[in-house]
Amino acid sequence: MPQDIVPIRGGGIINSSLPFSPGIRAGDYVFVSGMASADENGVIIHDEFENEARRTYENLGRVLRGAGLDFDRVVQVRCYLQRQEDWDAHNRIYREFFSEPFPARTTLVGCLGDLVKYEVDCIAYAGATTA
């Protein structure tokens, strides 16, 4: 991997045996892989939607903090919902972690199968901050 592309690790960030990096810093941007309701070893924790969603954002936050960032540096978010019925809860919980001006966002519904109820990935702008 080139020296200006750095994986984000440590600090309670998911350490999965699957072939992906939870986060990658490339220049001024941090790309966070799809996070879900999982423990530090990547084992899925099944729960009701709201608990899974909050755990998902906690995992996302760990990767951002590992890069020296927080949610206010996120510029794009992609959300994946298992069920349309969770749309309102998704938006309510999203507002617990993001505020005006909200990042650009795409939400896909009905695309997760039975593995998890919610998944989120994002891109954050690091600018002159340090990891």
pLDDT digit string, tens, across residues 91-110: 999 999 999 999 999 999 99
Of the listed ranges 12-21, 42-51, 110-119, the least confidently predicted one is 12-21
Which pLDDT score is estimated for 9? 87
* DSSP three-state, residue 108: strand
Which pLDDT score is estimated for 17? 83
Spatial distance between the Cα atoms of 104 and 86, rounded to a whole number of angstroms: 20
Spatial distance between the Cα atoms of 99 and 70, rounded to a whole number of angstroms: 12
| DSSP single-letter state for residue 67 | T
Which pLDDT score is estimated for 18? 85
In the predicted structure, residue 129 carries a pLDDT above the cut 60: no
Mean pLDDT of 72-81: 98
Which pLDDT score is estimated for 128? 65
φ/ψ (deg, to 5) at 19 = -80, 75
* DSSP three-state, residue 27: coil
69, 32 in Cβ contact below 8 A? no
